[in-house]
Amino acid sequence: MEMLLSTKGITICLFFFASSLAAAIEIPLSVAQLPTITEQSHTQVAYPFDEDFTIKCEARGNPQPTFNWTKDGKPFDLSSDPRIVASNNSGTFVIQNRGIITNFQGKYRCFASNVLGTAMSEEIELIVPSVPKFPKEKIEPLDVEHGDSVILHCNPPKGIPPLHIYWMNIDLQHIPQDERVSMSLKGDLYFANVEENDSRSDYCCFAAFPRLRTIVQKMPMTLKVSRFKHANDSGSPNAAVTKANFIKERKPKLLIPPETAGSSSSVTVIKGGVLLLECIAEGLPTPHLSWVKVTGNLPKDEPETENFGKILKIDQVTATDEGTYQCTASNPMGRVKHEFHVHVEEPPRWIKEPEGGVYSVGTNLVLLCEAIGNPEPTIQWKLNGMPIDSRTFRGRISAREISLTNLQLQDSAVYQCEASNKHGTILASANVNVLNIAPLILTSDGENYATVVGYSAFLHCEIFASPAADIRWTKDDSIEPLSTLRYELNKNGTLEIKETKKEDSGSYACWAANSVGKRAITANLDIRDATKLVVTPKNPRVLKSHSILLKCQSEYDSHLKHSFKLSWRKDGDELPVNSTEDGRVILDRDTLFISSVTQEDQGVYTCVARTSLDSVTAKSQLVVLDVPDPPEDLLLSENQNRSVRLSWKAGASHNSPINESIIEFEENRWEPGRWQELARVLGNDTTTLLSLAPYVNYQFRVVSVNAVGRSQPSKPSLRYATPPAAPDKNPENIRVEASEPNEMVMKWEPLKPVERNGPGLEYKVSWRQRGVEADWNEEMVKKHSLTLRNTPTFVPYEIKVQAVNNLGSGPEPNVTIGYSGEDVPDAAPSGVSVDIVNSTLVKVFWFGIPRDRVRGHLGGYKVSWWKTKSMLDGKRHHPEKHFLTFVGDRNYGMIPGLEPFSEFRLTVLAYNAKGDGPESSPVVFETPEGVPEQPRFLRILNFDKDSVTLSWGLPKKANGHLTGYILQYQMINETHEIGPLNDVSVTNRSMLSWKLSGLSSSTKYKFYVKACTVKGCGKPVTEEGLTMAQGTYAGIYDGISTQGWFIGLMCAIALLTLLLLTICFVRRNKGGKYSVKEKEDLHPDPEAQSIKDEIFGEYSDSDEKPLKGSLRSINGDIKATESADSLVDYGEGEHGMFNEDGSFIGAYSGSKEKGSVESTGSSTATFPLHA
């Protein structure tokens, strides 16, 4: 049920003939069958420390088998000894470890029998080891002479291998072994020749049997080594030993193999085992052992030797190891050899084992049995555990084959084939079951199957039959077998429906029939929707240290909801649900969140969805972007005086290609430790030719750049020093800065350290007065400035500055013009005159001072003025000086913001960078009358149904002789629209109130009052009010005017009105907003209108503060004046805003209020009205 495919379902059919189906499956236990050995013991060791020993033999069959045993080929009765505990319905028995159990040692065989035949086990050997012990014996001491050969025999007791032998002293210290002293494979200790220090009385042989957990020790042996007994020499002991050694020296003699074995011997080794060839020799000096293979194929590798070259060892012996090996023992006295003829043999192993099975009546039987080994094994056939007598056997029998024809039910039997040689025996059994039964369907009836669309469906129908059954499948009510390529019947009867679709759902039937009978079962198939997965985002690219959230979106069949599970993998490995230890990776069912992404997080992330019917995956490859790794392996080549080639190896780009490399340098002479950029290499090139400056000890490093950012710098290169040279350039930005009048300070930008090109850098400064001197004056300086004193004031000089070092001068320098120090102008402008433009604006003219009197660069002219008296009252004023600055060489300027009808004085001076020159003589001028300012207030004194009495104050500044007042009013309706304007002229300038009659009752009015001079009328002050309703005002007033609550209410209203008036007055003084357009339309100012389009300049008081604003015309548009005056006609100063009439705001009084028809000085009178 687990393959992703998809196809059509067709209700038609398939037919399959299972010719050998019964032989392919295990015979059900419900069918009569021969016994089969299912489990048995092999070689068993009865360890003395075990409580019991189990000999296993299990078999199955029908009828249930009975069990019999043989021991060493003779029947063995399990009830013969009470220590044997047998098992019911089993051949297994247990021997309890009580008393002497050595009589149980032997080779056992199990036989399982029923009425059909007998199965036989392989031989089971039970080994009952005795406890190994060394015999108690008295070992005589060995007394030998220096240089003799000695053998200390161990003769270890027998026991279960492996056996480990050790020679130690009584303190359990190992006896040192070498070429002279060594232990043989049998455990004896051989001395090729003895020395006096070999003497000791505690040579102990220890035999260890690990499987028996036993170590036994032989009695200690004594070895005494004496000097040469026949030495009559009375000299030193060393001389005696030397003489003895000389006498004892001899050529080698083999101790293993012994001389009695002759010059050669034969050795047999089992294939796959270990070959050990041993040669031990005695002699003096100590012999050296060597090995060579004389005949046969040489081994691929040098043979391994052990025990100081005395043992040749070959593991995993093969047939190629067969041949003749020679060992040679040699010393200076001679040599001795021995040859080993090695034969490789092997125990039997199967080439072909007999195969049993289920056979129907009348068929034929052929059993083959073939084995190889060295020597060649003999083959013996057995029937039900007994040798076959060819005289009574109805079939044919040979060493390798048994055959029977026309099998009958009584031919059912267990055939055994046994192959033997001297190295072992192997057994193979073949159960021949001759059966004649109707089909048995082993699969349950009515099984329900399910799969998903596109997968294969497998409907099982396991059959056992003899003869073999014919199998077919049908669908739903159809009797036709299923065919077409989409349906496939397997040998075990299973129907596979490939590439399932929804219409494959339904009921299916499996039919099995042979000559004995037939059977059928049904199966139901449901087709579910396939699971679908999508991982988003697909293949994201994420910057290192950023976060990523992977979402696994899934769709699955609702019937599979309970079995649906999601998991995540990275590069094929399952991700743990509990996230990583540091908490960066958080897995929450269908989401995978990774914070602070690292390079290790890069990889393929797979979402795995599993249901009980299908498993699908969706992948997303996470690519982590990072700055490149630092470049490596910087190499300098092509070394020149002014260049060098730098090469490097780029670091890992981390999934964003390197698009630029930045080469930086550091020099250790001028600014050690400071890295500066030298060059950039575009693309992924890893070499560049660098242009260098002379006299610099360079060190380079490289920074790689990709779309993510810059790498860390590489490790610095080796240093590269360029030789010195003359300067390549001269200083730049040569200039003369302001100084004292009779000084000239020449300055320039010094050369950078890497521009010096050599030691001893100085600057050669040349200068001469332009047009006066022909020869150059010169001076060498080390700093980057030079001061000349006693120079004429402000005259031009030609200046040159050249770089010079110990190796020469730089290129010819360019000439720069500079001026000597300035002084303040020493002349005042002349011909100063004033033209009156209007009451607040004048135009000043003057003649500029001569060029030679400026004594510097002309900055411009300053016009100063101050008010001396008012023409209205004749009062003198404390002079408060103001000025405007006019930049550049000019001879006129506009002075705005003057007070009308006043007397002023005015002066003009020239200035330069050094300061101001002398002022001209004061010029006196008077400004004409202007329009007045607005009256100080306007109040409504009395309201009646058709009249109102108004009262107003004098204007703050009359700006001339008052000629009277203009009173205006107009109605305002509920939508605040205004009606026509009505004028009343008050010609008596001393009258400050007026009663207006003929008004409409219950109507809101707006009132205006403005003062007038011969120049016109000024800004109006306004007020609004409501006339009373007809016939109601007096009555209401008489009725309530005496009530206390009404008096309190009126007081509160009066207090509130006073508060509002105060707020309005404060806001007016702070310059509230107003509608210029409405005011102009209602009350045009004749003087302001005449200069409506003028642009006023900037104004300064004596503190020379810059003017921060500029004037606009009344209608808000910047236009040129009719007199062709422009913005440059007005100087620079402190104040920048003017009233519409041209008067300068705050120029004299400091007031900054702005009049407005809507808000300035206005308020609304409120009275109780009758509804």
Question: Which of 684, 683, 682, 720 lies closest to 701, judged by CA?
Answer: 720
Question: Which of 861, 987, 873, 977 lies closest to 912, judged by CA?
Answer: 861
- Structure confidence at residue 1161 (pLDDT): 37
Question: Which of 240, 11, 26, 216 lies closest to 131, judged by CA?
Answer: 216
pLDDT tens column, 140-152: 999 999 999 999 9
Residue 968 binned pLDDT confidence (cut-offs 50, 70, 90): very high
pLDDT tens column, 480-501: 888 778 888 888 889 999 999 9
Q: Contact at 8 Å (CB) between 787 and 734?
A: no
Q: Is the pLDDT of residue 866 over 90?
A: yes
| 3-state SS class at 1066 | helix
Q: Is the pLDDT of residue 27 over 90?
A: no
> Residue 513: which residues within 8 A CB-CB, separation 6 or more?
439, 469, 470, 519
Q: Is the pLDDT of residue 902 over 80?
A: yes
What average pLDDT does the structure give for the chain? 84
Of 738-747, 1000-1009, 1019-1028, 1089-1098, the poorest mean pLDDT is in 1089-1098
Q: Is the pLDDT of residue 1159 over 50?
A: no
Amino acid at 1124: A
- Structure confidence at residue 100 (pLDDT): 87
Question: Which of 20, 27, 14 lies closest to 440, judged by CA?
Answer: 27
* 1081 torsion bin: left (phi>0), alpha (psi -120 to 50), beta (else): alpha
Alpha-carbon distance of 415 to 446, in angstroms, equals 40
Alpha-carbon distance of 444 to 460, in angstroms, equals 9
pLDDT tens column, 867-898: 999 888 888 877 889 999 999 999 999 999 99
* 1068 torsion bin: left (phi>0), alpha (psi -120 to 50), beta (else): alpha
pLDDT tens column, 776-797: 999 999 999 999 888 888 889 9
Q: Contact at 8 Å (CB) between 252 and 284?
A: no
Q: Is the pLDDT of residue 915 over 70?
A: yes
Residue 1052 binned pLDDT confidence (cut-offs 50, 70, 90): confident
Burial class (CB in 10 A: 0-12, 13-18, 19+), 879: exposed
Q: Is the pLDDT of residue 1042 over 90?
A: no
Looking at residues 229-241, what average pLDDT do you find? 47
- Structure confidence at residue 1068 (pLDDT): 58
Looking at residues 1152-1167, what average pLDDT do you find? 34
For the record, the structure tokens of 713 come out as 């710098």
Alpha-carbon distance of 922 to 978, in angstroms, equals 52
Q: Give the E-state strand segments of 41-160 in sequence order.
A: 44-45, 52-55, 57-62, 66-71, 74-76, 84-86, 93-96, 106-114, 117-120, 124-127, 142-145, 150-152
End-to-end CA distance of the chain: 96
Residue 1043 binned pLDDT confidence (cut-offs 50, 70, 90): low
Looking at residues 516-532, what average pLDDT do you find? 93
- Structure confidence at residue 615 (pLDDT): 92
Between 942 and 112, name the one with better pLDDT.
Answer: 112
8-state DSSP, 848: P
Alpha-carbon distance of 617 to 610, in angstroms, equals 9
Q: Of all residues in the chain, what percent are helix, strand and coil, respectively (each to 5)?
A: 10, 45, 45
Q: Is the peptide bond before 467 cis (omega within 30 degrees of 0)?
A: yes
Q: Is the pLDDT of residue 208 over 90?
A: yes
How many C-beta neighbours within 10 Å does residue 52 have?
Answer: 12
Q: Contact at 8 Å (CB) between 1 and 451?
A: yes
Most confident of 582-586, 749-753, 852-856, 1070-1074: 749-753
Looking at residues 287-302, what average pLDDT do you find? 78
Residue 68 binned pLDDT confidence (cut-offs 50, 70, 90): very high
Alpha-carbon distance of 104 to 594, in angstroms, equals 70
Alpha-carbon distance of 875 to 864, in angstroms, equals 21
Alpha-carbon distance of 88 to 64, in angstroms, equals 11
- Structure confidence at residue 10 (pLDDT): 30
Does this model's pTM top 0.85? My answer is: no
Q: Is the pLDDT of residue 648 over 50?
A: yes
Q: Is the pLDDT of residue 638 over 90?
A: yes
| 3-state SS class at 256 | strand
Give the DSSP letter string of 296-310.
SPPPSSPPEEETTTT
* 493 torsion bin: left (phi>0), alpha (psi -120 to 50), beta (else): left
Alpha-carbon distance of 1057 to 212, in angstroms, equals 124
CA distances from 768 to 774, 815, 819, 823, 1108 (A): 7, 11, 11, 21, 44
Q: Contact at 8 Å (CB) between 1162 and 1024?
A: yes
Alpha-carbon distance of 802 to 903, in angstroms, equals 62
Q: Match 């099982």 to its residue by tokens.
A: 460
Q: Contact at 8 Å (CB) between 1142 and 838?
A: yes
Alpha-carbon distance of 660 to 398, in angstroms, equals 87
Looking at residues 723-731, what average pLDDT do you find? 94
Between 1086 and 532, name the one with better pLDDT.
Answer: 532
> Residue 643: which residues within 8 A CB-CB, separation 6 or more?
689, 690, 691, 692
Question: Which of 196, 198, 127, 203 lies closest to 165, judged by CA?
Answer: 203
Between 814 and 235, name the one with better pLDDT.
Answer: 814
Q: Is the pLDDT of residue 1162 over 80?
A: no
Looking at residues 1078-1084, what average pLDDT do you find? 40
Residue 227 binned pLDDT confidence (cut-offs 50, 70, 90): confident
For the record, the structure tokens of 341 come out as 């003829």
Question: Which of 162, 44, 43, 48 lies closest to 98, judged by CA?
Answer: 48
Could you tell me what percent of the chain has a pLDDT over 70? 84
**Paired residues of 536 in beta bridges:** 551
Question: Which of 595, 565, 568 lies closest to 582, judged by CA?
Answer: 595
Residue 1045 binned pLDDT confidence (cut-offs 50, 70, 90): low
Residue 1129 binned pLDDT confidence (cut-offs 50, 70, 90): low
Q: Is the pLDDT of residue 1156 over 80?
A: no
Of 9-23, 189-203, 1000-1014, 1045-1059, the poorest mean pLDDT is in 9-23
- Structure confidence at residue 299 (pLDDT): 60
Q: Is the pLDDT of residue 14 over 80?
A: no
Of 519-533, 638-652, 1110-1124, the poorest mean pLDDT is in 1110-1124
Looking at residues 321-348, what average pLDDT do you find? 94
Of 24-28, 117-121, 526-530, 1026-1030, the poorest mean pLDDT is in 24-28
Looking at residues 392-417, what average pLDDT do you find? 91
Looking at residues 241-262, what average pLDDT do you find? 78
Question: Which of 122, 95, 128 lies closest to 40, judged by CA?
Answer: 122
8-state DSSP, 955: B
Q: Contact at 8 Å (CB) between 1028 and 1001?
A: yes
Alpha-carbon distance of 520 to 512, in angstroms, equals 6
Q: Is the pLDDT of residue 1072 over 50?
A: no
pLDDT tens column, 654-687: 999 999 999 999 999 889 999 999 999 999 899 9
Classify each residue of 115-132 as buried b or exposed e, where b means 16 or more C-beta atoms within 10 Å of its C-beta.
ebbbbbbbbbebebbeeb
- Structure confidence at residue 852 (pLDDT): 86
Q: Contact at 8 Å (CB) between 13 and 482?
A: yes
Alpha-carbon distance of 568 to 179, in angstroms, equals 64
Most confident of 386-395, 1022-1031, 1049-1058: 386-395
